[in-house]
């Protein structure tokens, strides 16, 4: 079975409070975009005493132990509750940039859950799959049903948002910067926004520049000024709205016109136009 997990961008991201468990509550609008990995899952037919997920990766390299990859963790979690799942071989072709704030790993995780649910006729509902996905990452539940959504809690409480950016072009630019969670939360200001991002994205896009903010962006830009330089350049090129997504380091711009030669403008960065 083959599927193509999508990426996402954050339209606004506000850190609203700190939780007793050490996590932070937030408000954001997740919007899926057509940058996609590819996952191919093949079940093993041979019976075995110990079932396992064997993972191989093509495309963009991923650091770390493959057994700690969210795809393997998703398999292990499903296997815990569903004994009928057999050993599988998974080939991941990685196209979504890593450490970008675009949810690539979370999407791979969620799509693995979806694929196993279908392949083994597990009959899990979307809500059941989202509940399992939440055990593996805050934004994993979004990718079980990746439609524009207002997210609260740690990003796991989702409400659909009726919006469509398909008439526009979205440019994604990611510099060669890796941002840790610790860096992202350094000196972060926890506060309720004056206006909720869900309400702002219902307004004309031309109004977003003055109101729609990502609370991580100011902090990250002070450490990595390339972020704000990319954002400003996107505005120079005619973007209606531009912002860092998630905790970075990818920056996106929304355009109402065709944009050419982005790879030449940002020649040391990952660039994609969708």
Give, as one character, the DSSP assignment of residue 66: G
Q: Quote the domain boundaries for residue 94.
A: 2-160
> What is the spatial distance between Cα 142 and Cα 159, in angstroms, rounded to a whole number?
10
Secondary structure class of 138 (helix, strand, coil): coil
Read off the tokens for 79. Answer: 């296997």
Helices (runs of H) and strands (runs of E) counted in the chain: 10, 12
CATH number at residue 74: 3.30.230.10
When divided into structural domains, the chain yields a total of 2
Q: Which of 37, 108, 139, 215 is catalytic?
A: 139
Does residue 48 carry a pLDDT above 90? no
49-84 pLDDT, tens digit each: 677 999 999 999 888 888 899 999 999 999 999 989
Whether 156 and 178 share a structural domain? no
Worst-scoring range by mean pLDDT, 100-114, 128-142, 187-201, 226-240?
A: 187-201
Query: How much is the average pLDDT of 215-244?
Result: 95
Nearest Cα neighbor of 233 from 197, 256, 201, 259 is 259
User: For 96, which DSSP code?
Assistant: S
Q: Is 139 an annotated catalytic residue?
A: yes
80 is annotated as an active-site residue: no
- The reply to whether 261 and 176 lie within a common domain is yes
What average pLDDT score do residues 142-163 get? 96
Q: What is the mean pLDDT of the chain?
A: 94
Last residue of a domain, one of 111, 142, 160: 160
* pTM (2 d.p.): 0.94
261 vs 174, more confident: 174
CATH number for position 227: 3.30.70.890
């Amino acid at each position: 079975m083959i599927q193509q997990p999508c990426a996402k961008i954050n339209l606004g991201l506000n850190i609203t409070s700190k939780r007793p468990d050490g996590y932070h509550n937030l408000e954001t609008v997740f919007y899926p975009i057509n940058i996609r990995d590819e996952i191919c899952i093949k079940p093993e037919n041979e019976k075995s005493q110990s079932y396992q997920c064997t993972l191989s990766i093509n495309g963009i390299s991923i650091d770390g132990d493959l057994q700690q990859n969210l795809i393997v963790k998703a398999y292990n979690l499903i296997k815990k509750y569903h004994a009928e799942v057999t050993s599988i071989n998974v080939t991941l072709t990685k196209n979504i940039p890593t450490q970008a704030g675009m949810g690539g790993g979370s999407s791979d995780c969620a799509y693995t859950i979806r694929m196993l649910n279908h392949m083994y006729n597990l009959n899990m509902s979307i809500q059941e799959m989202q509940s399992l996905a939440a055990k593996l990452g805050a934004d994993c539940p979004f990718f079980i049903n990746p439609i524009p959504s207002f997210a609260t809690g740690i990003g796991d409480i989702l409400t659909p948002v009726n919006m469509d950016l398909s008439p526009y072009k979205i440019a994604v630019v990611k510099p060669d910067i890796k941002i840790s969670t610790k860096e992202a939360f350094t000196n972060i200001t926890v506060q309720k926004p004056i206006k909720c991002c869900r309400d702002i994205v219902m307004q004309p896009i031309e109004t977003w520049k003055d109101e729609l903010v990502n609370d991580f962006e100011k902090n990250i830009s002070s450490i990595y000024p390339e972020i704000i330089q990319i954002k400003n350049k996107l505005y120079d090129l005619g973007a209606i709205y531009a912002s860092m997504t998630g905790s970075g380091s990818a920056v996106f711009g929304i355009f109402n016109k065709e944009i050419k030669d982005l790879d030449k403008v940002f020649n040391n960065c990952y660039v994609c136009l969708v």
